[in-house]
Amino acid sequence: MTWTKAPLGELLTYIGKGIAPAYTEDYNSNTSVMVLGQKCVRDQKVVYAEARFHNEVAKSFKPEKEVLVGDILVNATGVGSAGRVAQVVDIPSRKCITDGHVITLRASNRIDSIYLGYFVKTKQALIEQMAEGSTGQTEMNRTRLQNEILVTFPEDAEDQRAIAEIGLTFDRKIAVNTKLNGYLAA
């Protein structure tokens, strides 16, 4: 297996913050879109139960803002939350975007998106240190994120995918065990 290294920014087709949503309480409407904010990015998972909703008719957004499977989400602001990482590994139950406090990273075809997500999650402690600014108003530095995170990966896409599948298998087993523990506790 031949390995290579590249700055994170060279492996992305998209890096950007979400929108300033026009929030709505009408989550059953065909015009409401799920919004993932900082509360949704915790413990290296996407917590959809914490999502709010945006009225798409009141305020439209560019198509690239829609969250896709494989997208890596990084909290962009706030002491204690800036730098937290999660990845979208399953299709969201409905159309989904992020708010302006979350950065979306989208992998290029040079690297398997799930592999990249696991790699970035291993660098969460380093990413958290990239937040800059005064107390309480820290902001993630996207330039540092793109240039200072050096990604090591197998050159062969099949090898990347095989490694990613191991991580997915463990995460799925952990999710099942967590659910079973909840049933047993109840």
- Domain span at 150: 3-185
CATH assignment at residue 40: 3.90.220.20
Q: Is the pLDDT of residue 148 over 80?
A: yes
Q: Which of 4-18, 69-83, 165-179 has the lowest mean pLDDT?
A: 165-179
Closest Cα partner for 137 from 82, 98, 100? 82
Q: Residue written as tokens 């050159």?
A: 155
Model confidence pLDDT, tens digit, residues 86-115: 999 988 889 999 999 999 999 999 999 999
Q: ∠ CA 90-96-99 to the nearest 5 degrees? A: 120
Q: Is the pLDDT of residue 162 over 90?
A: yes
Closest Cα partner for 126 from 167, 168, 88, 74? 74
Q: Is the pLDDT of residue 129 over 70?
A: yes
Q: Is the pLDDT of residue 179 over 90?
A: no
**Domains of the chain: total:** 1
Q: What's the confidence (pLDDT) of residue 161?
A: 95
Q: Is the pLDDT of residue 135 over 70?
A: no
Q: What's the confidence (pLDDT) of residue 136?
A: 63
How far is CA 160 from its chain centroid?
19
Mean local confidence (pLDDT), 74-84: 90
Quote the CA–CA distance of 159 and 77 in Å, as a whole number: 34
Q: Is the pLDDT of residue 28 over 90?
A: no
Tokens at 175, concatenated: 């999710």
44 or 136: which leads in pLDDT: 44
Mean residue pLDDT of the chain comes to 92
Q: Which of 17-21, 92-96, 144-148, 150-154 has the lowest mean pLDDT?
A: 92-96
Residue 178's pLDDT band (boundaries 50, 70, 90)? Answer: confident
